[in-house]
Amino acid sequence: MSEFKIGPLNHVGVAVPDLEEACETYRTLYGATDITTPFDMPEQGVKVCFVNLPNSQIELIEPLNEDSPIHNFIQKNPKGGQHHVCFEVDDVHQAVEEMGKRGATVLGKPRIGAHGTLIIFVHPKNSNGVLIELMETPEGHH
């Protein structure tokens, strides 16, 4: 087996039916003060913002339309819920290769994620029921 391994936890993705309402929950219930301005990612079918925390981030994700991959998640979980866990890696293409060698199913091709770096997702069946996102470490991070 190669030396490939995951790096730091970058964020936890939480799918929500209403992004503004979710932001308000993090502000009023949990006292979060550093929440990014929501932005659309039409190529992924989502609207996103980040709750910045001292040691990580919560990525809040709302579907933009019925074609969004998050739409089905919200249909099954109308109040929303934990969607994925994201770890940083040095090289997404190496991660794709290693996941294949190690018998994991990578969902789709590498693509640009909300942090502006390449990402992939590993099927939950390979990770004890948890959808795992692997993203290249953003520049200037860590």
Residue positions annotated with a catalytic role: 133
Terminal CA-CA length for the chain:
26
> What is the C-alpha separation between 96 and 129, in angstroms, rounded?
19
**β-pair type (132-136, 81-89):** parallel
Three-state DSSP state, 13: strand
